């Protein structure tokens, strides 16, 4: 739980950075942007019903697809896009900075909090063995939609390659740099997409930490609990959010560096979590006839191998950068 709590807290910081960056495009001061994000987070819990919270959060998450129409506004050259995704060309130089960015991208996509939130939310929602099939379909659909939004974000920012320094999140430099390409309206939608992504993720990450604390400390932990019965649950949730929000407002904090490093940490923490999950879902005594199917085990194995390889590559880039240059043919 301590390992998960630290990882969640660091990731939570990056989500508030996204909110600060997005609202910065509209001239909102950092303190006001973070305060608004925290207020939205707390407001999402007021119903004290998982059913209501889930639907409100899903409605907000649907806005993440705004990156798809924004990508279309760039009038992309689709044959070039398809060629790049199919061939991974052009391939940048394999150096420490490139490895850091690649691992950060992976860490922003596959993180430990997702695993723990998923299993706790399954219980809180009241799902049973009969719902496993629908749960898998639900997860697959959500992953596909999230991937579509991510691809949209990649396409819309592709014209900025080599022309922007991502060093100033406070001024929302990404959205500002896109204005000549997609106009003010398109840039505004991109900035709103950043805000939405940060808000939704901050809500779920905070809840994931509160779920984990409740399970380990054997305290009541459910979104269906009224405030009086779930004091520990809501206290952990609220304190994590408030502390992460406060850190984002520290003057001079290297926001971009924080985002990159936190997501790299997420990559390094994932293989052990996935291995333990693999052992758990294949334990016949615990699973009682609903063990993970072979195809799911194979997919999980591929993910573990890729994440482990990525972590080793990062280790090489830190310990022996000259070996990294050799691997890249430099």
- What would the mean pLDDT of 188-203 be, rounded to a whole number? 91
Q: Residue for token digits 């898998």?
A: 136
pLDDT of 53 > 90? The answer is: no
pLDDT of 143 > 80? The answer is: yes
pLDDT of 169 > 50? The answer is: no
Q: How far apart are CA 30 and CA 22, in angstroms?
A: 10
Within 8 A by CB and 6+ apart from 27, the residues are none
Residue 198: closest CA among 304, 330, 60, 79: 60
Can you tell me whether residue 255 is helix, strand or coil?
helix
pLDDT digits (tens, 9 = 90+) for 180-195: 888 899 999 999 998 9
Percent of the chain scoring above 70 in pLDDT: 93
pTM: 0.84
Torsion of CA 85, 91, 96, 101, to 10 degrees: -20
pLDDT of 3 > 80? The answer is: no
| Domain, as residue range, for 211 | 2-84+92-327
pLDDT digits (tens, 9 = 90+) for 84-141: 888 877 777 777 777 888 888 888 888 888 888 888 888 898 888 889 889 889 889 9
**Which pLDDT score is estimated for 170?**
47
Using alpha carbons, list the distances in angstroms from residue 319 to 98, 279, 293, 330. 15, 32, 39, 17
pLDDT of 163 > 70? The answer is: no
The structural domain count of the chain equals 1
Report residue 317 CA to chain centroid gap: 24
DSSP string over 173-223: HHHHHHHHHHHHHHHHHHHHHHHHHHHHHHHHHHHHHHHHHHHHHT----T
Confidence of residue 57 (pLDDT cuts 50, 70, 90): confident
Alpha helices in the chain (DSSP H): 2-24, 30-43, 50-62, 67-72, 78-87, 96-109, 112-125, 132-157, 173-217, 231-248, 255-281, 284-287, 294-319, 321-327
């Amino acid at each position: 739980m301590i390992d998960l709590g630290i990882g969640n807290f660091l990731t939570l910081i990056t989500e508030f950075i996204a909110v600060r960056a997005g609202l910065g495009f509209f001239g909102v001061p950092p303190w006001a942007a973070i305060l608004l994000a925290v207020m939205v987070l707390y407001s999402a819990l007021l119903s004290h019903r998982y059913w209501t919270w889930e639907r409100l959060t899903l409605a907000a998450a649907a806005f993440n697809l705004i990156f798809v129409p924004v990508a279309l506004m760039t009038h992309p050259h689709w044959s070039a896009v398809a060629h790049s995704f199919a061939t991974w060309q052009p391939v940048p130089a394999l150096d420490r900075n490139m490895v850091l960015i690649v691992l950060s991208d992976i860490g922003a996509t596959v993180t430990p909090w997702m695993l723990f939130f998923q299993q706790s939310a399954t219980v809180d929602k009241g799902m049973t063995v009969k719902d496993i099939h629908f749960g898998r379909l639900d997860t697959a659909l959500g992953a596909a939609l999230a991937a579509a939004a991510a691809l949209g974000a990649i396409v819309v920012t592709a014209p900025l390659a080599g022309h922007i320094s991502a060093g100033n999140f406070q001024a929302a430099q990404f959205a500002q740099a896109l204005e000549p390409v997609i106009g003010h309206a398109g840039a505004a939608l991109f900035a709103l997409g950043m805000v939405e992504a940060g808000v939704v993720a901050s809500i779920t990450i905070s809840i994931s930490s509160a779920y984990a604390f409740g399970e380990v400390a054997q305290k009541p932990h459910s979104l269906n609990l009224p405030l009086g019965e779930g004091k520990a649950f809501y206290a952990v949730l609220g304190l994590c959010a408030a502390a992460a929000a406060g850190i984002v407002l520290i003057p001079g904090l290297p926001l971009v560096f924080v985002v990159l490093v936190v997501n790299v940490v997420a990559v390094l923490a994932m293989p052990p979590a996935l291995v333990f999950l693999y052992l758990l879902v294949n334990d016949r005594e615990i699973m009682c006839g609903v063990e993970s199917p072979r195809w799911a085990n194979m997919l999980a194995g591929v993910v573990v191998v890729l994440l482990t390889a990525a972590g080793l590559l990062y280790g090489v880039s830190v310990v022996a950068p000259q070996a990294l240059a050799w691997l890249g043919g430099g």
